[in-house]
Chain A
Amino acid sequence: MANDQIQYVTAPKVDDNRKKYCRFKKNGIKYIDYKDANFLLKFINDQGKVLPRRLTGTSLKFQRKVAQAVKRARHIGLLPYVTDSLK
């Protein structure tokens, strides 16, 4: 194969080493409002599922609060249970 272009088998990880932090602890947010739908949009992916902690970096205590807020918002129809193109 003449081409000397390097083909990576897996995508090169570029900046995954920046320190993730829990935005709630850092900014001193104590309560996550389940009625504030566009704030909760940051914590769900485009299928409407709650993002895992390893991606958002939130601490366990606040991840549970986020998950509960999302479930409450879904119940009263502010957030969808499942969708294909949310954002």
Chain B
Amino acid sequence: MQQYDTVIVLTPLLSDETAKEAIAKYSKILTDNGAEIVQEDNWGLKKLAYPIQKKTTGYYHLIEYKAPGDLINKLEIEFRRDERVLRFLTIALDKHATAYNDKKRSGAFNQKKTVKAEEAAK
């Protein structure tokens, strides 16, 4: 089963629980069809770099999961059908990406990465 990660940008007009309920709907679709969710990360309301559908902020949510390949198309049809979703992006993760995400989750990454970035920037 290939590992994917999906970022969803929901419209900010939703109240908090309707946003959570929309996200729960998608994670349910995933788990029903045999996907295994590795990690869910909620960034909440963030300012968009440019207005999308006349809105300047978006409710970001990230889902990282292992899924069979044919499930992705079904998921994206649901995204397109739902008008609450402003944007979505699904990426297949290769081994470097999964290693990066595991290191990030284990927290060993935060200091090293920023230190490395600064040192590289110097």
A-side interface residues toward B, CB under 8 Å?
23, 26-27, 29-31, 33-35, 39, 42, 72, 74-81, 83
Contact = CB atoms under 8 A, between A and B. Distances in A.
A41 to B, nearest CB: 11
B97 A31 contact: yes
Nearest to A26: B120
Q: Is the interface of A mostly helix, strand, loop or mixed?
A: loop
Contact of A78 (B49, B91, B96, B100): B49
Interface of B is mostly: strand
Contacts of A81: 50
Nearest to B60: A76
A77 B117 contact: no
Contacts, number: 47
Interface of B: 7, 9, 48-50, 52, 58, 60, 62, 86-87, 89, 91, 94, 96-97, 99-100, 104, 116-117, 119-121
Contact of A77 (B9, B91, B96): B9
A27 B115 CA distance: 11
A76 B49 CA distance: 9
Nearest to A86: B49
A54 to B, nearest CB: 18
B78 to A, nearest CB: 18
Contacts of A77: 9, 48-50, 52, 58, 86-87
Contact of A27 (B48, B91, B116): B116
B120 A30 contact: no
A74 B49 contact: yes
